A = this chain, B = another copy of it.
């Protein structure tokens, strides 16, 4: 399932494949899992039973089906606290979201994917594709491209180019040349634009956040419907976003202005 590097303990890998499955399908029984994963019922039962014992899965007493357990919430909270970036960024994101009345995303990257770690939605125009904790392709999002532009080319090569470009819409980046050109422009401007590349009708402006080692560890974006996001508006937004990301970067110990 996952790209194996070095020693992989089969049963542990299978257990985590099962958890992964539950991240998509929230409730499943033993038979269902064993069918999906091509394992015998008894094997799955052993794994699931172990996961239940540790609180990673819970069994519904009514329909006997299993679901993700509260232990994952517990561990997830621990990780969340480590993301102190989130706390640093929160007031800035809130402010900018209110200022423009648009949705703001805060995201980090992990192995070539965007992971949303915070979101300030507009009640009247909620964006459903992004949810805190969820992933999205880097090449189709403003936040993703903003980070890619400042990541070493080996990273881009390894996690983006070699995997092929996911086509979310017909405007999504399709080739390496396109990507290179786009990243070059982002570095020149200091901000990234997503012009209906993940969802038709949606445009975003994003800028990267740097840590003390000057690595782009996150990004912030403002998203809105195409008709409201004219070139002039975007330019204005970009200024404010860059002010924000610079301030956050500084608070994380970043010295330079990228």
Interface flags, A11-30, vs B, CB<8A=1, else 0 = 11101100110110010000
Interface flags, A58-81, vs B, CB<8A=1, else 0 = 000000000111101111111111
The one of B3, B6, B15, B134 that contacts A49, using a Cβ cutoff of 8 Å:
B6
- Asked if A39 is at the interface (CB within 8 A of a chain B CB), the reply is no
A113 to chain B, nearest CB (A): 10
- The reply to whether B54 and A9 form a contact with Cβ atoms under 8 Å apart is no
- The reply to whether A9 and B75 form a contact with Cβ atoms under 8 Å apart is no
Provide the residues of chain B in CB contact with A20, threshold 8 Å.
Answer: 54
Q: How far is the CA of A23 from the CA of B27 in the complex (A)?
A: 26
Q: How far is the CA of A4 from the CA of B52 in the complex (A)?
A: 10
Interface size class of A (residues with CB under 8 A): 35 or more
A19 to chain B, nearest CB (A): 6
- The reply to whether B74 and A80 form a contact with Cβ atoms under 8 Å apart is no
Q: How far is the CA of A67 from the CA of B56 in the complex (A)?
A: 18
Interface flags, A135-147, vs B, CB<8A=1, else 0 = 1000000000000
Provide the residues of chain B in CB contact with A50, threshold 8 Å.
Answer: 7-9, 12-13, 16
A59 to chain B, nearest CB (A): 11
The one of B4, B46, B67, B82 that contacts A67, using a Cβ cutoff of 8 Å:
B82
By a beta-carbon cutoff of 8 Å, the part of chain A in contact with chain B is: 2-9, 11-13, 15-16, 19-20, 22-23, 26, 45-47, 49-51, 53-56, 67-70, 72-83, 108, 110-111, 115, 117, 131-135
